[in-house]
Each structure stands twice: as C-alpha cells, then as structure tokens.
Structure 1
Amino acid sequence: MDKQFNRRHFLSTGAALVGGLLLPPAFAGTRERLRIGVIGTGMRGQVLLQELLRRDDVEVAALCDIEPIMLGRALAQVEKAGKARPRTFGEDRDPHAYKRLLDAAKLDGVIIATPWEWHASMAIDAMQAKVPVGCEVVAGVTLQDHWDVLNTQLKTGTPYMLLENVCFRRDVMAALQMVRAGLFGELVHLQGGYQHDLRAVKFNSGDPAKPYGGGLEFGQKGWSEARWRTGHSVQRNGELYPSHGIGPCAMYTNINRGNRFTRINAFASKARGLHDYIVKKPGGANHPSAKAEFRLGDVVTTTLSCENGETILLQHDTSLPRPYSLGFRVQGTNGLWMDVNQSVHIEGVSKPHEWEDFQIYQDKYDHPLWRKYADRAEGAGHGGMDFFVIHAFIEALKARAPMPIDIYDAVSWSAITPLSEQSIAQGFQTLDFPDFTAGLWRTRKPIFALDGRY
C-alpha cells in the first residue's frame, strides 16, 4: 500500500506541478481548425457528431465503430452535412480497431462515446498516443480505472475532458452565477442525481430501427443501450451514473479547487422495478428476461461530506415509473434553489415562507456563455447543452488552454460509482474519499468558464 500510494503521489505531484493543467510543448500555441475523430458512433456518438459537423473549425477526420449500421448512419450524417468523408475503422468488427484510428488518423483530438467499460482503456490509449481526449461519462468502472486514467494523464500531459453536459444546462449555470454572487450565503447542503425512467432504454425488441422500448430483450439480443447498459443493472449495485448530479454540485462547492470530498456512504433500496416492468408486459412473465436477477437497487442514495463542511446527497433512480428530474437543490444560509419546482427562496428578498419563480433569477443571472451562444446552441441536443460541452472541448483545444472539466474533476466525480458499490457491499459503510489531487486541491483555483470564453 505504501509503494502504491507513493507512486500515485509522485505521478500526481511530480509530473505536473499545477495539477496536470500546464500543457507540455507538444500542445503549445493556438490553432484555428482541428482534426477530430469519434470512437463510438452509436446513439450518443451521433448526437455529438452532429455538433462537430455544425462547426467550421472542425474537420471530422475519422470515425470508428464495430457496428456497421451505426457507422453507416454516422457516415450519412457527414454526407448530409456536406462534409468530406472521414476515414473509417471497425468495419472488420475488431474491438481494438480504435487503436488503428489513433495511430493512423493524425488527430488533434478524439471523442470517446462507447459503452462505459471501454472508456478508461480507450482514454489511456489515446493519451499515450498524444491524442487529446473528450470522454463521455463515466471515466471508468473500477476504482483502479480512475487511478490509471489519472496517472496516464499526469504522466503524458495529454489534455482530457469529461464531457458532462449538465454542467452547461442553462438553469444550472444561472444558479452557479447566483452562488458566486453570494445570493445563497454560505453553502450548507446540495442535492442532485439521475432520476430518469430508463426502462424503455434498458429493454427493446432488438430492432435497430427501434432502439427504445418495443420489447423485452437485453444483452446480445437487445440493441443499442439495451445491449450493454442493462448488464450493469444485473451485475452491479451502486450510484452508476453520478456525474449529471455531482458535476454541478461540485462546481458550486469548488471541489478540487479549495474544497474536496472527504467521506462517502451509499444505501440501496430493494430491486423490483425492472422485473415488474418485464412481467407486466404481454407475455412478459414467460419471457427469458423475467428470469434475470437485477442487483441494482431501484433507488440508490449516496451522501458525501466535503472538507469545507457541506453535505451532498445524490439519488440514482432509473428503474421505476417517474418523470425525468435531476433533483438539484442548492441551499445556504440565505436561501435555496430547487429545480423540481423551478423555484427559489432568498431571505430578505422573497416573501417569508414562500417560493419565487426561478425564471426571474435565471434571466437576471444568465451565464455569459448562454448570453453569448444561445443562438448557436438552438436545436442542439439536450436543450443546447450538447453544443456547449463540445464547444468547451474544441475551444480549449484550439487555445491549448486548461480543460474546464479536467482530469481531477473526471476521476473525482466518476469514482463515486465504485466507492458507492463498495459502501453498499460492506453494509452501507462510510468510506474515506480518495484525494486524487494529492493535496493540490488546497491551492487550485476555480476556472470553470470564469471569463465566458468557453
């Protein structure tokens, strides 16, 4: 353990004196146009590809996918956009075809939008090849994945950004402006999560034309996310998708930049929702999927404590009927904002014990990024968030500037998953949260879009 800690500490402090954010000479200077590759052209990859194709400062130079249908759809997107046909990899269904893309395509950056279990190894290979990474959430599956991704970034100096789009949601960013303006006073407690009915995502008929719902297949008989994501619900029990909720909460509390997570525990309810969904469908009781035993609790509740005294509560709720909500709550000594009712209460401003409509505050505290780029974000995925997350990655690469969601953010947010699994497996035990920065959190400063450049 001592040798392992010392190695991590050396990589965390010796390889980059300011936390891996000063870029090596290979990444010095500015650029006007980038050659970008995409690994994974499934449903999510196609959404991100569309944002790349909308930009004049990006050449989509290479695509990789081992599913011919998805690769074909991505090529059709490129053709429809009137852009040059990129090089393609993976037609031979070689799961390591992405390595040929990294070696042969001479890329300025790569987007990784594959199933979760591939994210860490693909990011590591890309960084070792000196190809900057924009990785879809999550950063890794096991805790060791996160150490490996971190140490590779610090050793190589290759830029890495976690593509967490909710950090760019308009109300989330307005609330960030309110936090920085001191409207909520000193922050005390925050909440967020991933509360999204995914039953029709986790099961389908296996028909490529119908990726959501329409059947009860998963695994090899399923299609798209039902092919790979549902298996995590069978095999794992924890906070499987933390970054949508924790990303904004971490921004509000300056995690890794003057603050850090210190302790974590997690509780899981019983698992009933997915089985119930199956057996209630016509013929579902006799369908092979009805025999599956799902480990993932229907509602997983994770609590974190912070060095500066705040608590953060996350909830993962994807197996029961419910409207979509990320359940944000930002509460301090002067008031709070909650996104479920889109309301705010500020002591001394709001009427006592009454909510105000948040829209008034959102308009007043609209983030400079939204004021500047709202027109360009119109029509982009997830209400414009996907424009902003790709824009942030591309602009940082062009300027060779620090990533706004950097390697420390990526591993700290994403490691909540394996730590929550460990807590639940050990009888809901409270665990120490690793300091991935090796103490650098004390001196690092908030950088997230402070000047509105990206």
Structure 2
Amino acid sequence: MPEPAPHHHEDPEVSRRSVLRTAGAAGAGLGVGLGGLGAASAAAAPQAPGAPERQAADEPAWPARQGKTMIGTPFERRSTVRVGIIGLGNRGDAMTDLFLAVPGVKINALCDPVRAKAEKAAAKVTAAGQPAPALYTKGEDDYEQLCARGDLDFVFVATPWEWHFPMAEAALLNGKHVGVECPIAMELGQLWRLVDLSERTRRHCIQMENCCYGRNEMRVLRMAHAGLFGDLLHGAGAYIHDLRGLMFSPTYYEGPWRRLWHTRLKGDLYPNHGFGPVANYMDVNRGDRAVRITTFGSPALGLAAYRAEHMPPGDPSWKESYVQSDMSISLVQTAKGRVIRLEHAVSNPHPYSRLNILGGTKGVFEDYPPRIYLEPEMSDDRWGDFKKYEKWDHWLWKDHANPPGGHGGMDYIMVFRLMQCMRLGLVPDFDVYDAATWTAPVPLSHASIKAQGAPQAIPDFTRGLWRQARPGMDSAKP
C-alpha cells in the first residue's frame, strides 16, 4: 500500500517560544484560567455537523470550537508508521526498543540535546536493520527541526514535563500525530490549546498512558463493561512511589527538573496513571464526565528530610524550598454522581501502589495486591482470587501473553496497539479529550489546595459530546 503524502500545516506559531523554557518561567504561568489559549481560541467557529453541543446551564463556559471534533476520527491507513522520538533519557531510550519491536514501524529521526544519548539510540535503530536515523542534537530547540520533517507520521515525546506542551504543539502544527508521556501539559490553557490544535490540524494528540494497558486494568475494564460490578459507584487510582533517591540522584535524571516541580506546585503532579484507568472503567468522556475536583495536601517534609540525611553541604538542592504536598488526596465527582479518589505521594517511604480500585452495586476490585469480591458467587465476607477471572483478559493480553519491555509488558502493549491503529486506519483507544481530562488535576489540584480545598470545575474538553456513548479501551480485535 502506498504511503500517504506528507501532510503539512502552515502556521506562524510553529516557531514561537514557550513561556516554560526556563525554570523561573516554569513556575510563573501556572494559573488555571484560559489565558494560555491565544487569540484564535476566542474566535467563533462552526460546530461539528449534527453534534449536540448546547451548553448546559450548570456547566462552565467553554471556548468556541475551531474545527470539527476528533471524536471517532480514524488515523490514515498506512503500511509503515514513520516515527520521530524527542527525548532519549531513561524513558525515551527504553521506548526506542519497543518501537523497534513492533512490526511496521520505522524510526527516521531522533532528538536529544545530549548527543551521546541520541547516538546510543541510533545504534539500536541500525542494529535492528533500519537505516541510520537523522539526529537533532543542536540545543534545546532542535526538536522543531525534527517536527518539520516531511517523512514522519508520528512524534513521540519523552522529555521533562515543562517541554511536553511546546513539543506537542510543534508536532501538531507541522501536521504530525503526537504521543506524549505523562502529563501532557502543566497548565489548563495549554490543555485547551492542544485540544484546539488537534481539532484544527486533524491530527491526534495522545497521552501515552501505559497503565491503561496493564493486564489487571484491562481485565477489570472488560468485567466492568460486562456488568459484573453492577452499577458503578466509586473508584480510586494513585501514583504512590518512593522517588526520593532518584530525584536526588546526579545521574538518573538529566538535571533536577523533576525535583524542581516540587518547589512550584502543591497538588497532584502525576495524576494520569491513577485517573486514566478508572476513567476508562466509568466511560468518562463516553457517557459520563469528570465535573469537579477538590484536593487536600499534607505538609511538604519528605524531600527536605531526605536532603538533610543524604546530601552534602553546598549541594545545589539546599537552595530549594519544597511546597508540593507529600501526600495529596483528591476527590473527583462525575456527572453521574460517581466519586474517584486520586492520591499522589513520591516523597516518603511507601511500597509502590496505584490503588486501582473499582466498586459497584455487585462488588469491588482492589489492587496491590489484586483481590476481588463479587456477589452472588462470594458471600463469606472474604476476598476472592482475581486469577480465576483470566477469561476476562483483553484480547491484547491473550495475543501477547508475555510481552517484552518494562512495567510488566504494558509499555509494549500500548505501543503495539497505537501503531496497530495507525497502520490499519483505526480510531485510537483514547484521544486528546482524554489526555486533557486526565491531566487537568495537575493545575486544578494545585488551585484547590491553595483555596483550602475549594472544589475546582473540570472543563468539558469535549464541548458537550461526552453524553454520547462510544468505544474506547474495550476494543474489538481488528
């Protein structure tokens, strides 16, 4: 099958510099208003034909749509997906292996300001039998040159969080589909900007949320949709992971960027791993929607205590003042009245957990360790064995019982499925509206804590189309 012609979008904003290019600016523009939208977002635009987008009286106003919705929009079918990767640190390097492991994927370009990292990844590409990829290593802005190439279909972004928005923006403005590591942006205005750009350029902007593809998560998803939990009532998700040693390591991250976010924001810095799977269980943006969030945060003591015990006098970290809550707890309410609890804790001793809880009128599942209680087969008030429900595994896990790569194989399943959708011309399992919704707790939890727990409205990024039931992660096998 012939490759589609390169698709370009002329836009004067492709060369603009993000306000998040310096550490100082990264902490400056974190308001939750719509100031980051730009003048174009205020202009009226036609609505999608036949779309029920009337504004509900009790919903906050949303900006006018600039193009047709991306809901239900398939990728263009292609025999080979041509990929460019921006960011080749720990995550980008590992994901390079997985892109190379998926059939029908060709890596044409790599970008990292540390040339040795780009060269290491390039060696993997040639070792896999592909031509040597082009390298972009001339400073922080060289990613714009990668995005401007005419031989890329998909750009993958695995860089420090402050770069996620400008890099996704550049990819969309250059007519590329883009997948971004979590979170997809750090400001509410940036989320609206990505929604608008995705609609305007007709290119998908995907949150690369690997936890949605975990075996347990996909099994619970199918069970929930089959009605085994009854009417769904509540769920919980989290990122509880002791990162103190990694955040103070001089080599694990390229600089202190991740630790510095703990000096800027008080709320949930990394909600996606917990929010995404539960949102899928409850069909958020597909018949229900997240309406509001309220967050409380504990004192910020863990990083300072770790620094006092482990870092020598004179270390640059001694100039830092940490404000991010050691434990943030958020409650999200949906339009159907369901409640989702989100937790974030990375600064204190704690075994790893994403909680991953789902409860309904017929039973409940709780993870870490996985256990289940369902009526009527369980009636002795004791947890049941989740392994007995393997028949509910998603077809992706039945086809790939022992996937390669890290995080128990979920990373490979995610890459395989996304590349499959691109090659076959399918609608992606989730879209820019999901990316924006799952990331919205980053700025909104910060605003809620600053307002002593006052609820914050979660925007309806679908502009009313959440009311329509539609497929998502619980996909049929092609």
Q: Same fold (TM over 0.5)?
A: yes
Residues in 2 aligned to 1:259 and 1:310: alpha-carbon distance in whole angstroms: 9
Residues in 1 aligned to 2:68 and 2:229: alpha-carbon distance in whole angstroms: 34
Residues in 2 aligned to 1:11 and 1:403: alpha-carbon distance in whole angstroms: 24
Partner secondary structure for residue 420 of structure 1: helix
Which letter does structure 2 place at the counterpart of 1:280?
E
Q: 2:78 aligns with which of 31, 34, 38?
A: 31
- Return 394-403 or 311-320, whichever deviates more: 394-403
Do structure 1's residue 152 and structure 2's residue 179 form an aligned pair?
no
Partner secondary structure for residue 429 of structure 1: coil
Residue 338 of structure 2 is matched in structure 1 by 310
- Return 169-178 or 52-61, whichever deviates more: 52-61
Residues in 1 aligned to 2:241 and 2:367: alpha-carbon distance in whole angstroms: 14
Q: How far is 1:133 from its partner?
A: 0.7
Q: 2:366 aligns with which of 332, 338, 355?
A: 338
Question: In the TM superposition, what are the counterparts of 1:273-284 in structure 2 within 5 Å?
Answer: 273-281=302-310, 284=312
Residues in 2 aligned to 1:412 and 1:276: alpha-carbon distance in whole angstroms: 34
Q: 2:215 aligns with which of 170, 177, 183?
A: 170
Residues in 2 aligned to 1:409 and 1:230: alpha-carbon distance in whole angstroms: 26
Do structure 1's residue 270 and structure 2's residue 299 form an aligned pair?
yes
Do structure 1's residue 110 and structure 2's residue 138 form an aligned pair?
no
Is the helix fraction higher in 1 or 2?
Answer: 1
Residue 139 of structure 1 is matched in structure 2 by 184
Do structure 1's residue 73 and structure 2's residue 101 form an aligned pair?
no
Q: Deviations over 1:317-341 (max 9, x none)?
A: 1000111110111001111000023
Q: Deviations over 1:385-433 (max 9, x none)?
A: 1111111221121123222120100001111110111111112111221
- Return 338-347 or 315-324, whichever deviates more: 338-347
Residues in 1 aligned to 2:237 and 2:207: alpha-carbon distance in whole angstroms: 18
2:70/2:198 contact within 8 Å kept:
no
Residues in 2 aligned to 1:182 and 1:20: alpha-carbon distance in whole angstroms: 25
Do structure 1's residue 408 and structure 2's residue 433 form an aligned pair?
yes
Q: 1:46 aligns with which of 86, 90, 93?
A: 93
Q: Deviations over 1:15-51 (max 9, x none)?
A: 555544435xxx64x2111211101111100111111
Question: In the TM superposition, what are the counterparts of 1:254-265 in structure 2 within 5 Å?
Answer: 254-265=283-294
Which letter does structure 2 place at the counterpart of 1:423?
S
Partner secondary structure for residue 280 of structure 1: helix
Do structure 1's residue 364 and structure 2's residue 388 form an aligned pair?
no
Q: How far is 1:189 from its partner?
A: 0.8
1:185/1:334 contact within 8 Å kept:
yes
Partner secondary structure for residue 331 of structure 2: strand
Which letter does structure 2 place at the counterpart of 1:136?
E
Partner secondary structure for residue 352 of structure 2: coil
Q: Deviations over 1:240-289 (max 9, x none)?
A: 001100000000000001100111111110011111112122x6466452
Q: Deviations over 1:110-134 (max 9, x none)?
A: 1111111111111111111111111
Partner secondary structure for residue 435 of structure 1: coil
Judging changes above 3 Å, is the alpha-carbon distance between structure 1 residues 15 and 290 closer, same or farther for their aligned structure 2 residues? closer
Partner secondary structure for residue 56 of structure 1: coil
Residue 218 of structure 1 is matched in structure 2 by none
Q: 1:22 aligns with which of 58, 73, 97?
A: 73
Partner secondary structure for residue 107 of structure 2: strand
Question: What is the percent sequence identity of the aligned residues?
Answer: 33
Instruction: Compute the TM-score of the two structures, normalised by the length of structure 1.
Output: 0.89
Q: 1:82 aligns with which of 96, 114, 129?
A: 129
Do structure 1's residue 60 and structure 2's residue 107 form an aligned pair?
yes
Which letter does structure 1 place at the counterpart of 2:88?
T
- Return 69-78 or 386-395, whichever deviates more: 69-78
Instruction: Give structure 1 stretches of 5+ with no counterpart.
Output: 212-222
Residues in 1 aligned to 2:110 and 2:371: alpha-carbon distance in whole angstroms: 43
Residues in 2 aligned to 1:411 and 1:150: alpha-carbon distance in whole angstroms: 7
Partner secondary structure for residue 354 of structure 1: coil
Q: How far is 1:166 from its partner?
A: 0.2
Instruction: Compute the TM-score of the two structures, normalised by the length of structure 2.
Output: 0.85
Residue 400 of structure 2 is matched in structure 1 by 373
- Return 187-196 or 100-109, whichever deviates more: 100-109
Q: Which runs of 4+ in 1 moved over 3 A?
A: 1-21, 283-288
Residues in 2 aligned to 1:400 and 1:124: alpha-carbon distance in whole angstroms: 23
Q: How far is 1:197 from its partner?
A: 0.5
Residue 220 of structure 1 is matched in structure 2 by none
Residues in 2 aligned to 1:416 and 1:354: alpha-carbon distance in whole angstroms: 35
Partner secondary structure for residue 401 of structure 2: helix
Residues in 1 aligned to 2:88 and 2:314: alpha-carbon distance in whole angstroms: 34
Which letter does structure 2 place at the counterpart of 1:264?
I
CA RMSD across the alignment: 2.2
1:19/1:437 contact within 8 Å kept:
no
2:67/2:196 contact within 8 Å kept:
no
Residues in 1 aligned to 2:289 and 2:93: alpha-carbon distance in whole angstroms: 35
Residues in 2 aligned to 1:77 and 1:43: alpha-carbon distance in whole angstroms: 14
1:161/1:404 contact within 8 Å kept:
no
1:412/1:436 contact within 8 Å kept:
yes
Q: How far is 1:347 from its partner?
A: 2.1
Instruction: Give structure 2 stretches of 5+ with no counterpart.
Output: 1-33, 49-64
Judging changes above 3 Å, is the alpha-carbon distance between structure 1 residues 285 and 103 closer, same or farther for their aligned structure 2 residues? closer
Judging changes above 3 Å, is the alpha-carbon distance between structure 1 residues 15 and 342 closer, same or farther for their aligned structure 2 residues? same
Residues in 2 aligned to 1:382 and 1:341: alpha-carbon distance in whole angstroms: 16
Q: 1:427 aligns with which of 424, 443, 452?
A: 452
Judging changes above 3 Å, is the alpha-carbon distance between structure 1 residues 18 and 402 closer, same or farther for their aligned structure 2 residues? same
2:302/2:347 contact within 8 Å kept:
yes
Judging changes above 3 Å, is the alpha-carbon distance between structure 1 residues 408 and 358 closer, same or farther for their aligned structure 2 residues? same
